[in-house]
Amino acid sequence: MEFSQKKKRFIVIGIAILILTVYFVPLGWHGLLEPDEGRYSEIPREMVESGDFVTPRLNYVKYFEKPVLLYWMNAASFMAFGENEFAARFPTALSGVLGALVTALLCSAVFGRRAGVIAGAVTALSLLYFAIGTITLTDMPLSLFLTAALSAFYYGHIKNDRRWFLAFYASVALGLLAKGLIAIVLPGGIIFWYIIFTKKWRLILDALYLPGIALFFLIAFPWFYMVSRENPDFLYFFFVREHFLRYATKIHSRYEPFWFFIPMIPVGLMPWTGFFFSLFSKESILRSPADKDKKDANIYLLSWFTVIFVFFSLSSSKLIPYIVPCFPPLAILIASDIDRMIERGKWHGKALASSIVFGVLFSAALIVYSFVGGRVDPYEALPVALAISAGLLAGPVIALFMTRNGDRTSYEKAAAALCISALVYIGAHYGIYEMMGRSRSTKGISEVIMKEKLPDETIAVY
């Protein structure tokens, strides 16, 4: 039976609505997770209270570890929605959804509309991307602006339209305000290696777009100037201690071995891990690009992933959220490869078989951990583990049965089934958030303190 355009549009809109639902509706269901969510909520709360939007303060003490953009976003959210968990997480969730949308748009421009739709779903419905996109951290806004910058740059390059470089420089400036100098270093490194591998030397001159550079300084300079003028110690602390010393030394006690991020990629990509490994197949779009334009796009996407991954792997300070910006280029490669499978009416690289194997292994580990982990009530954790396992396994199993006939329509339906199954898998993780909200949040004791304390009493934090 033909999969009509009307039905396709209906399914795409339905999946998009469900993605928005799973990202935004449950944001306020659990308490803020310590320490990061408490920190990134209290600083903007104090900004709103004091009216000082230049100098960040945590518990009324100057705090210069991160730049200001997330604080401004959260402060605006508090003013719009009130001081609550939903408002604290809304800007990060919005950044995650917008990042998935930008990924979809770039993929559509390079590999076609169907691949773009799949890329948006793969990005939004990958485990690590979703997890970081629904808690308040600086990493997801950074990922959004890096994705926007690199997408605008490549689109402007392939369309030979330098006006898109304005969006590139604006996004880099916002990334600088979101996380710091890596918003300059990473795009610069990615574009450098792309030029080296493709020998497109003219792109160097094209990239040095004076209106874009002026726009960058117009956006980024004012806050750095104002905060430095009011706080003479800011420049050393922020640029030297929080950038160079953090990267080169163990000053923050976050050292991990160089291979720390390697297992984070297959785990973080779930439920799409099987399709990630299918990229190594000879039939994949990565190893057998359709033409030179697709080959150049692959080089750009691989440079995008590799520069970020290697940069943070070499750092002396490692945290899991650092590699979130790696996921959009991987999502585009995975989506374009799934699109090729649909077009050819054939799964390659054992994509479904490996998805089922990884799903079984992950599900077994999750269920066993529910009983022997020791940190959670097994009778509370088991239903969550089973729901996650069902979402993880249902998609590839259903897709396997749906595509027995081998026609393209059945493969399109199978792709929709994979997306819906991924929604179940991702949505079930809110059960984990519920448990973490009780074990890693001070909301309960805070409510007691606010209820019992007298007006003139002091609350001590240690």
- Contacts within 8 Å (CB) and 24+ apart, 159-164: 162/206, 162/209
Name the one residue in this structure whose structure tokens are 């449950």. Answer: 26
pLDDT digits (tens, 9 = 90+) for 439-462: 777 777 887 888 888 888 887 776
φ/ψ (deg, to 5) at 59? 55, 35
- pLDDT at 2 exceeding the cut of 60: no
Please, what is the average pLDDT of the chain? 92
Pairwise CA distance, residues 135 & 124, whole Å: 14
Question: Where does the pLDDT of residue 3 fall: very low under 50, low under 70, confident under 90, or very high at 90 and above?
Answer: low
Q: What is the mean pLDDT of residues 149-174?
A: 97
CB distance 11 to 4 below 8 Å: no
Report pLDDT digits (tens) over 311-369.
999 998 899 999 999 999 999 999 999 999 999 999 998 999 999 999 999 999 888 88
Are the C-beta atoms of 186 and 308 separated by less than 8 Å?
A: yes
Cα 424 to Cα 390: distance, rounded to the nearest angstrom: 8
Instruction: For residue 164, give the nearest of 238, 109, 221 by alpha carbon.
Output: 109
The lowest-confidence range among 170-179, 222-231, 336-345, 365-374 is 365-374
Q: How far is CA 452 from CA 42, 83, 460, in A?
A: 21, 20, 15
pLDDT in tens, 393-422: 999 999 999 998 777 889 999 999 999 999
How confident is the model at residue 154, as a pLDDT?
98
Cα atoms found within 13 Å of the Cα of residue 55, Cβ hemisphere only = 16
What is d(CA 224, CA 252) in angstroms, rounded to the nearest whole number? 24
Over the stretch 102-111, which tens digit does the pLDDT of each residue have?
Answer: 999 999 999 9
Contact present, 205 and 162 (Cβ < 8 Å): no
Structure confidence at residue 432 (pLDDT): 84
The full set of domain ranges for the chain reads: 5-442
The pLDDT value given to residue 406 = 73
The pair phi, psi for residue 17, each rounded to 5°, is -65, -40
What pLDDT is attached to residue 459?
A: 79
Q: Are 380 and 436 in contact (CB under 8 A)?
A: no
The per-residue pLDDT for range 255-293, each reduced to its tens digit, is 788 899 999 999 999 999 999 999 999 999 999 888 899
Q: Tell me what the mean pLDDT of segment 20-45 comes to.
A: 92
Q: How confident is residue 100, by pLDDT bands cut at 50, 70 and 90?
A: very high
Q: Quick one: pLDDT band at residue 243, thresholds 50, 70, 90?
A: confident
- Percent of the chain whose pLDDT exceeds 70: 98
Instruction: Give the rounded distance of the alpha carbon of 215 from its chain centre.
Output: 26
Rounded CA separation 104/110 (Å): 10
235-239 contact pairs (CB < 8 A, 24+): 237/64, 238/64, 238/65, 238/67, 238/180, 239/181
Measured CA distances, 445 to 32, 33, 240, 435, 438 (Å): 12, 13, 37, 16, 11
Three-state DSSP at 58 gives: strand
- Residues whose CB is less than 8 angstroms from the CB of residue 348 and which lie 6 or more positions away in sequence, other chains included: 278, 281, 283, 284, 341
- Quote the CA–CA distance of 133 and 27 in Å, as a whole number: 10
**8 A C-beta contact, residue 105 and residue 116:** yes
Encoded amino acid at 239, one letter: F
Give the 3-state secondary structure of residue 404: coil
> What is the distance between the alpha carbons of residues 84 and 88, in angstroms, rounded to a whole number?
6
Q: What is the C-alpha radius of gyration for the chain, rounded to an integer number of angstroms?
A: 23
First-last CA distance in the chain: 66
Cα 216 from Cα 174, distance rounded (Å) = 8
Q: Which residues pair with 62 in a beta bridge?
A: 57
Burial of 205 (0-12, 13-18, 19+ CB in 10 A): exposed
Residues in the chain: 462
pLDDT (0 to 100) of residue 404: 84
Q: Which of 421, 420, 431 shows the shortest CA–CA distance to 17?
A: 420
The residue written with tokens 């950038």 in the block is: 243
Res 252: pLDDT? 67
pLDDT higher than 80, residue 371: no
Report pLDDT for 462. 65
Closest CA to 70 of 43, 35, 30: 43
Give the pLDDT band of residue 143 (cuts 50, 70, 90). Answer: very high
